[in-house]
Structure formats: structure tokens, C-alpha cells
Amino acid sequence: MSKKSRMIFATNNQHKVNEIKHILGDSFHINSLKDAGIHIDIPEPHDTLEANATEKSTVIYALTGIDCFSEDTGLEVTALHGAPGVKSARYAAGESFKDNNHKLLFSLEGQSNRTAQFRTIISLIFNGKEFLFEGICKGNILTEKKGSEGFGYDPLFVPDGAEKTFAEMTIDEKSMYSHRKKATEKLIEFLRTQHGQS
């Protein structure tokens, strides 16, 4: 691209910031909310990933008038009828990674069907208009945690085609399967098109 695209990533989650920056590479300059001097927690009151992503991006665009994007990601487990889904980050009462993982394992006790998928929705506000991008990674939930990298449900999730959990992978290995990368690649392609590049 002829110059770096600058935009705000509407999140306070540094893990997500690091992962998105790694995927985007040098063509884009991304500011997190902290980088942009915005110190607010945006509520996620809705019952779909799409609506929560839209909530975050529209709030930040209204505050700044700067092109921005947000994402919401959920783990959708087949045997739990799509749960924890939109409530993935708040699945357990303690809302910690450890608490959420423990509740998921408890909920799946005795279940032979452990298929699941991570689904990411990115909401981009570009020139005042919203565009949505989706990324999906299918896989399976283990019966015990493995690995210490990543965040969230990464220690329990093995993507299809892999032999390790996300938490056992390097960031480059995770990017080969990542739902977040798939959605981000669609975002990148859109932005390149807007900048007149294929």
C-alpha cells in the first residue's frame, strides 16, 4: 500500500491487539483504545456477536470520528447448543480464563461430541459506513487443558487439521488456523480495495 492505513482497534484486550497487529503486519498502523487515550469499557449487552461488535465500533467512531474496527469472538460448542457463544468471556461467574475453562469442562462432562468452532465478527466503520467480516475455525474441545500460550479457551481447543491446542502453538502456528486471522484477512482485502490495490 502506498501509505499506512491508520485506524483504531476498539478493544482493551492486549492479547487481541497483539494478535491483530501480528496479522496486519507493516501495512497498517493500529491504535488500541489505550494508545488512542480512550479509557472506557464498552458494554457488550447484545445476544449476537454481530451486535456486540457493532456496539463497540460505533461507540468509538462517535467519540473520535476516526475509522475504527472492533471484533467479538465466541466459542460455539455443538453439544451445548452453541454456548458459551456470545457469553464466552463471561461464561463463568468469575469471568477469568481459568473459571471459564473450568466451567466448560464441567459442562461437557460425559459428552462424546466435543466439536466446536470459534467464530469472529469484525465490525469496521470506514468513511462513516459499517462493514462486517466473519472468520470461523472448527475444531474440538479436549478433556483437559494443554499449553500455556494464548488466552481464553486456547488451552482446550484443537483446530481441525492440527495436533496441538492453540495454547501449545506459537503465534505464527496459530495464525495458520485462526478465526481471527480469517476475519482480519477479509478486512485487509477490503481496505486494499478501498485504497485502489488488489
Residues with Cβ < 8 Å from 191, sequence gap 6 or more?
A: 5, 28, 126
The residues annotated as belonging to the active site are 72
CA distance 151 to 89: 11
What whole-number distance in Å separates Cα of residue 84 and Cα of residue 92? 10
Q: Where does the chain show beta strands of DSSP type E?
A: 5-9, 28-32, 68-77, 84-85, 115-126, 129-141, 157-159
Selection from 70, 52, 50 nearest residue 60 by Cα = 70
* DSSP secondary structure code for residue 162 in this structure: -
Burial grade of 77 (CB within 10 A; 0-12, 13-18, 19 or more): buried
Q: What cell was used for 151?
A: 488466552
Lookup: cell for 190: 477490503
Cα distance between residue 67 and residue 78, in whole Å: 36
3-class SS of residue 160 = coil
